[in-house]
Structure 1
């Protein structure tokens, strides 16, 4: 996607007003951009609550998808999902449909917005992988009492988000990128991001790269947030950390975001639709306005973006805040706040610096479906069974079932902890048991048929609810041990 940098050339943008307070906030941003001379043609489309009520299960109608495919840039308000309608979030659906893999959430201390962190110089960006991880939304009830959610992390996804984080740091003149993971516990999934980050960091010698365990990152963000510049992290971690960082600077009403992909970019406020406040004309539209500023930069229209951002900062320096921020009896209405920003176009803030921005060089990636290993071998299988019997009774039965097969039962775990052979520990058991079978002769060549034969034996006696291969990939185990497993 090529940026429309020529201000004399109209840019056609898909605009989705959204639900609840969305239409008021989006209208404010559109009015300000028009007044600033952004030269944008607004292609109005719908998604979210009203679309769900029309019977469109995704919340995103075909005409909206076609508009986005045509225009490639979107400004949108928050979308609601009414109870009893639809399934997946329309917000998440839009991000996934157009592979907007990078969620960018900048936070900075704003003038006139007082928080316990005022004066600390908070100015950072959370770069969140946006389409993988637990947000793949692949869940199953394994038994009536045990639910499972698959955490999917790909090497390609990690490479894309890590490179994007470094490129953003360069574009904004930032000096440090911190990778926040839970790789000390999830060594394969979260560990993939850590390993990718450490491998790619060497390509950016001008940027300081550091890794931090995500819980420590949360601790450090509250203790000393000014130490951070860019934080790159996985989807779930980024969702949590970015809401935390918004709280450092005044809340979600001041939290813009961008969802960037190779082909499409979606700009939106982080906050929700807040339907109880819809139509009150008291809502703070700053998050949507600042999202629109990011959109202008994405389009290459840096001068008008800076003009709008400066006008908003001048308004805040002069004490202009809406009723939902300072109280409805003394705050500005949404429309008055909008008019003040427009009146301040062309003025520069006196106490707040505006960070210089350069175009972000989006990483280029091949359409490869994965990396072919030099050597990939099946060395066993984990078969998950449903049973209310204790592992002490299940284990001997499974050992007898492996007679004459290439496998032996190595162990049984329950909720990730080895319970058979017994360790002497005291562990509660639920009705899902992971039974790990490995080769008796490690030099045997295994095929799926061997695993299927073993499943048939077990299925005569137990309900099987899940099966996984145990792989070695280029000589390294592609699976983790249970707690207490030798």
Structure 2
């Protein structure tokens, strides 16, 4: 059973009789019911697939495996490269990391894709507006890299890491998805007006890559304005690409526009592995009651079929779903109320009965294969034409007031290669005083600049830190550098 690479760059495990292997993880809570309904519909639609059923989530945590993902599941995914999964629970009190996050991280599924479209007979305040968009979220970097430190007993830090390489992969994917789905516009949503270096990296990469896609309209939008516009006029958006936490928030917002998480499919796509799953959770209070709506998992399977380039079967199933919803005879409890909603099995049977039917009003978009970005797997090393060390930020813990801490640090820096420029507290300059009224914590950033004309040496920084450490507890150092003549650091609020 060879591993085949398609022209669009996807790796698929294909059996001798032409079927494609899929690792299926039923999941927790309502997951097995949703997966069972989906597999029945895939079988009825004669999807050319073969399944390996594997475990992850709560059942694995209970066996004492902290990751929630056993080796047999990892091995199956490495073989199949395609995963269809139900929601996984992260239990409280045992287990460590989310099994969902573990799977995404293990296989570098850098693109989280969440299509959002108006569905027939799913009433919302936006019904009739024709919402049809896709949120493409960077899925690996940003604050969700999970690099955190308790720097003082009262101040915690999370590192926000955004790379050129990570930004280029997600931006290229967004443009390729727009082309594959016949979409005409890509918005990039960032907070680069405030985080000019980190979020600004995404914006700059977007503007550079957009030049290679002249057939697609490219617009940058500040993320808070994107949220405002999504509520005010969502139909203006086609594809929205954004950083990890922004995308987490905006994609849940967009799901709410069209009926909620019960109708929200998603994909986590990397260059080696793709994972397809509903956005919703495991909803344990509904588990085993045969009342859950499996549409989100089913539409995730439709996304999977298109990813593996089984377009005809995907269209067959999506048409049957739309026809069933449009007909309105068999609707689940989340739409019409659980006291009179159809059972999960009844809804599943109705979709199977409607295979081959087409809705009268709702339209299925024409798709072609998404071309995966071909970016070197080698570690990214970006070389500047010139660089120099111009200073250091030393973060210290102290109960002194700024007017006491400043002179003490100036005295310690005497005879070193640096001078104290300013001290900030939670990002705002407090020394020299600016006249502001600042609520202080015991966490200070102390900015020292090189006194010479050339470049400071790393040993000069070490000497400075030893001097500061002779009196104060320090917990972090950031070397201040210039790259190609531009500062690689930002100023504090109030800093000149």
- Are the counterparts in 2 of residues 284 and 325 from structure 1 also a CA contact under 8 Å? no
**CA drift at 1:40:** 1.4
Q: For residue 476 of structure 1, what is the aligned residue in structure 2?
A: 486
**CA-CA distance at 1:445 after TM superposition:** 2.4
Which residue of the partner structure matches residue 424 of structure 1? 435
1:1-16 aligned within 5 A: 1-2=5-6, 9-16=18-25
Q: 1:442-478 deviations in whole A, cap 9, x for unaligned?
A: x232122111111111111110011111011111111
Alignment match, 1:203:
212
Q: 1:190 aligns with which of 184, 199, 204?
A: 199
Query: Structure 1, residues 167-186: CA drift from partner, whole Å, max 9, x if none?
Result: 00000000000000000000
Question: Normalization by structure 2: what TM-score?
Answer: 0.96
Structure-to-structure mapping, 1:363-374, within 5 angstroms = 363-366=373-376, 367-374=378-385
1:369-388 map, 5 Å: 369-388=380-399
Q: Describe the SS at the equivalent of 1:180.
A: strand
Describe how 1:228-307 pairs up with structure 2 within 5 A. Answer: 228-307=237-316
SS at match of 1:374: coil
Greater shift after overlay, 8-17 or 162-171? Answer: 8-17
Q: Which moved more, 1:285-294 or 1:363-372?
A: 363-372
2:13·2:20 contact (CA, 8 Å) conserved in 1? no
Question: Structure 2: which 5+ residue stretches go unaligned?
Answer: none
In structure 2, the residue matched to 1:69 is: 78
In 1, distance between residues paired with 2:389 and 2:89? 45
SS of residue in 1 equivalent to 2:380: coil
In structure 2, the CA distance between the partners of 1:182 and 1:145, relative to structure 1 (3 Å rule), is: same
CA distance, structure 2, for counterparts of residue 143 and residue 301 of structure 1: 54
Q: Is the 8 A contact 2:402 2:423 kept in 1?
A: yes
Partner of 2:155: 146
Q: How does 1:298-377 map to 2 (within 5 A)?
A: 298-319=307-328, 320-366=330-376, 367-377=378-388
User: Aligned-pair RMSD on alpha carbons?
Assistant: 1.2
Deviation at residue 368 of structure 1 after TM alignment? 3.6
Which of 432, 440, 451 is the aligned partner of 1:440? Answer: 451
1:258-307 Cα distance to aligned partner (Å, 9 max, x none):
01110100000000111111111111100000000000011110000000
CA distance in 1, matches of 2:398, 2:96: 31
Q: How does 1:63-102 map to 2 (within 5 A)?
A: 63-102=72-111
> Does residue 416 of structure 2 align to residue 405 of structure 1?
yes
Q: Is contact 1:58–1:88 with CA below 8 Å preserved after alignment?
A: yes
Deviation at 1:86, TM superposition (A): 1.8
Q: CA deviation at 1:5?
A: 11
Q: Which moved more, 1:363-372 or 1:263-272?
A: 363-372
Q: CA deviation at 1:324?
A: 2.9
Query: Which of 39, 42, 54 is equivalent to 1:33?
Result: 42
Pairwise CA distance, 1:369: 2.1
TM-score after normalising by structure 1: 0.98
Which deviates more, 220-229 or 54-63? 54-63
Unpaired runs of 5+ residues, structure 1, are none
SS of the counterpart of 1:179? strand
Count of aligned positions: 485
- Partner Cα distance (1:392, 1:280) in 2: 65
SS at match of 2:156: strand
User: Quick one: distance in 2 between partners of 1:347 and 1:307?
Assistant: 8
- Map of 1:163 onto structure 2: 172
Contact 1:164 1:363 survives alignment (8 Å): yes
Q: Tell me the distance in 2 between the aligned counterparts of 1:225 and 1:444.
A: 53
Contact 1:5 1:301 in 2 (8 A): no
Match of 2:136 among 127, 136, 152: 127
Checking the alignment, whether the CA contact within 8 Å between 1:6 and 1:301 is kept in structure 2 is: no
Contact in 2 for aligned 1:156/1:370 (Cα 8 Å): no
1:464 aligned to 2:442? no
Alpha-carbon deviations, 1:35-72, whole Å to 9, x = none? 10002111011111111111111111111111100100
Contact 1:5–1:300 (8 Å) recurs in 2 = no
Q: Take 2:400 and 2:341, find their aligned partners in 1: how far apart are those partners?
A: 64
> Aligned partners of 2:480 and 2:336: how far apart in 1?
58
For 2:297 and 2:149, how far apart are their aligned partners in 1? 36
Partner of 1:480: helix, strand, or coil?
coil
Per-residue Cα deviation, 1:228-255 (whole angstroms, up to 9, x for no partner): 0000000000000000000000000000
Q: Are 1:453 and 2:466 matched, yes or no?
A: no
Query: Residue 132 of structure 1 contacts residue 153 of structure 1 at CA under 8 Å; is this kept in 2?
Result: yes
- Give, in whole Å, the separation in 2 of the partners of 1:259 and 1:65: 16
